[in-house]
Amino acid sequence: MVSQSLLVLASIIGYTAATGVLLPLYVYPSLDFGDGAALWQPALSAISSSPNVPWLVVVNPHNGPGLSGQPGDADPNYISGVSQLNAHSNVKTIGYVRTNFAASPIAEVEANITIWKSWGTYTAADISVDGIFFDETSTSDFNYLSTVISFARNAFGSKAITTICNFGVKADVQFYSICDVVIAFESCLNCKDSSGAQLPQYKSQTTITSNIPSGKQSQGAILVHDFVGTAADGSAASTALLQQYTHTLALNGVGWCYFGSAGYSSITTPPATVGALAAAVASG
């Protein structure tokens, strides 16, 4: 726990947390039409309450920029939500595309990147995106990923974007030269799949050491989407364990993390609510 006076000093000297939050904000923004993105308010308050924490917030209307092809998917709820995200200086809003392990047609991925770029042409509100999240990236097809990432950087031209590659597992160090952020672990805390097979368990330092190449920690990201039950070592999922995990990530200089307690379908399920995550990351 960092003392209050250190926190005050940190805010005076412009301290930025070592680890930021990479939030896959896949929940729909609104409960009722035109409610000002009511379902995103817990994320927006967590962002406001952690001004020294950098946030990468991934938005995803429909496995991509949405079926309308229009900025904001021509949806007032998305337009409201994204413009509220963009009002925060510690947020970069990132558009979702799916590469399906290098099986999505490149032309389709590129067409979606072009639509994401077009969100920046909307004039009634700032719904521009600052980067692209490439989901389901293949650890074995460097050329495919290099092609679509180069396309994205060119499409956005003079705007320097953030590219995030979701391998979900350890990826070769060469990918760190083309992806700004590399998701090197994505799993539940400790669970089985529907056939009863054990999925990769999150083991804090052990996972960090084995999945992120040495020297690349600041580009590395860890996503734990079902932080419930008990960890592999028997520790109960709790806000104390969350704090311990984010502290270890910070000590290792790991750039980004996400912990949530109900897949990607809720940001308010305890113990890893978005607010608890923000507090844990902010305290280092």
Ligand X SMILES: *[C@@H]1O[C@H](CO)[C@@H](O)[C@H](O)[C@H]1NC(C)=O
Selected binder of ligand X within 20, 24, 64, 71 (CB under 6 A): 64
Residue list 84-143, contact with ligand X (CB under 6 A): 97-98, 104, 108-109, 112
Binding segment for ligand X (CB under 6 A), chosen from 19-27, 63-71, 184-192, 251-259, is: 63-71
Residue list 33-62, contact with ligand X (CB under 6 A): 62
> Which residue's CB comes closest to ligand X?
64
What does the alpha-carbon distance between residue 53 and residue 75 come to, in Å, rounded to a whole number? Answer: 29
What does the alpha-carbon distance between residue 273 and residue 233 come to, in Å, rounded to a whole number? Answer: 22
Residue with Cβ nearer ligand X (65 or 284): 65
Minimum distance from residue 104 beta carbon to ligand X (Å): 4
154 by Cβ neighbours in 10 Å (0-12 / 13-18 / 19+) ranks as exposed
Decide: is 284 part of the binding site for ligand X (CB under 6 A): no
Selected binder of ligand X within 52, 63, 248, 268 (CB under 6 A): 63
Selected binder of ligand X within 67, 87, 103, 173 (CB under 6 A): 67
| 143, two tokens | 């050329």
What does the alpha-carbon distance between residue 29 and residue 16 come to, in Å, rounded to a whole number? Answer: 28
Q: Peptide bond before 24: cis, by omega within 30 degrees of 0?
A: no
Minimum distance from residue 135 beta carbon to ligand X (Å): 8
Minimum distance from residue 134 beta carbon to ligand X (Å): 9
Minimum distance from residue 111 beta carbon to ligand X (Å): 7
Close Cβ partners of 250 (under 8 Å, ≥ 6 residues apart): 17, 18, 19, 281, 284
Residue list 225-264, contact with ligand X (CB under 6 A): none
E strand spans, 8-139: 20-25, 55-59, 91-98, 131-135
| Residue 52 DSSP SS3 | coil
Residue with Cβ nearer ligand X (132 or 276): 132
Residue with Cβ nearer ligand X (35 or 108): 108
Helices (H), the chain: 4-13, 41-48, 76-86, 106-118, 142-155, 205-211, 239-251, 274-282
Selected binder of ligand X within 20, 24, 54, 65 (CB under 6 A): 65
| 140, two tokens | 């074995």
* Residues in touch with ligand X (CB under 6 A): 62-67, 97-98, 104, 108-109, 112
